[in-house]
Structure 1
Amino acid sequence: MATKKKKIEKRPDLVVYDENKERYDAAFRPYATSVGAPQITLPNNGTWKNSQIYKANKHLKAKYQAIKAEYDALIEIMEYNELVTNAKFTFEPLIGETYHLYNNSKQEPFLSIIAPDSCSFEYLGSFRLTSDYLWEKVKQNDGTTISKL
């Protein structure tokens, strides 16, 4: 069984010949094929990439700092809640009312409705019970909230 092989003609590297279509197709290529053609250069994306990386890192850092600030605020609220909840008090606190936290003579915290200027115990802070049953620290003189989400 004899197979018929085509004789492959050796062409110079400069010649663009398509073996499948059996034709010269330099004119059909999307790129230059002659030595005298303009040089093919890739665009320099380095500066664009660097600026995008810089912008992305700035955005992510800002987002991280915002999340960290929110986390720190939550930790602070949790610590205030733990402090006030573990204090001694003999009444049921009402939502929206401001209460004052003191240390007694045994350095045990207790919650009171008595204002700091009318009490001789060590003053620890004033707190308001929110509708979510969380204690938020308030300034004693004008009643504005210090820590709030």
Structure 2
Amino acid sequence: MSDDKKPKPVDLDNINLDLMKLKVTDMPSLLEYAHTVGGFAITPTNQGAIKSNARSAMVEQTEEQLNIIYEQMKTLAKQVQDIKKRVYISDLIYNVEIPFTPVIGKTYYLYEENTGKRYLSLVSPDEWGKAMDSQVFLAEIRLNADHTWKVIKSTIELS
């Protein structure tokens, strides 16, 4: 073996520790470059572009989710209005004269006489003929199983 290939003894007295601190790290995984022969290079990225793309995706997703919730709210609001109308007309009907026992699923007619008195009838406006002159047709309704009334046709404003 030649002299230049022989390992040289380490001279501990000549080691410059301050210089060594600049060449070593406690956490090599945080270095911006490969710190071993087989390591891969870590190149800095454009953080602004990455964050901008991520934020755009986040905004798009949350907007889509909010739109879905908004559509659900509109559906629920319509259902609330429909229930309010059913309750209104049901309350109106239960405060008028009903000379018979209504049957669930059957269609009935709500009228108002010239005197302002309202009543429920089995007779449709087409079946009244000339007698219709003394009353005003208000609504065609059907009794639901929950004893609310479904409005089929109406000439009155529901509040």
TM (norm. structure 1) is: 0.69
Contact 1:16 1:33 (C-alpha < 8 Å) held by counterparts? no
Give the number of the structure whose alpha-carbon radius of gyration is greater: 2
Give the fraction of aligned pairs with identical amino acids, expressed as a percent: 20
What is the CA distance between 1:13 and its match in structure 2? 8.6
Aligned counterpart in structure 1 of residue 152 of structure 2, from 130, 134, 138: 138
Please list every run of 5 or more consecutive structure 2 residues that lacks an aligned counterpart in the other structure: 1-16, 35-40, 155-159
| Cα separation, partners in 2 of 1:12 and 1:101, compared to 1, 3 Å | farther
Q: For residues 59 and 14 of structure 1, what CA distance do their matches in structure 2 show?
A: 57
Q: 1:17 aligns with which of 22, 25, 32?
A: 25
Distance, in Å, in 1 between the alignment partners of 2:31 and 2:120 is 83
More helix by share: 2
Q: Which runs of 5+ in 1 are unaligned?
A: 1-8, 19-24, 141-149
The answer to whether the 8 Å contact 2:33/2:43 transfers is: no
Question: Residues 37 and 95 of structure 1: is their aligned pair in 2 closer, same or farther, counting only changes over 3 Å?
Answer: closer
Q: Does 1:50 align with 2:53?
A: no
Q: 1:126 aligned to 121, 140, 143, which one?
A: 140
How far apart are the structure 1 equivalents of 2:125 and 2:20? Answer: 99
Q: Name the SS for the 1:17 alignment partner.
A: coil
RMSD: 2.7
Aligned to 1:73: 82
Cα separation, 2, equivalents of 1:109 and 1:88: 7
For 2:96, the equivalent position in structure 1 comes to 87
CA deviations over 1:8-57 (Å, ceiling 9, x no partner) = x6579965432xxxxxx52xx155258x9621444231111111122112
Number of equivalent positions: 123
| AA partner of residue 123 (structure 1) | F
Q: What is the CA–CA distance in structure 1 between the aligned matches of 2:112 and 2:42, rounded to whole Å?
A: 89
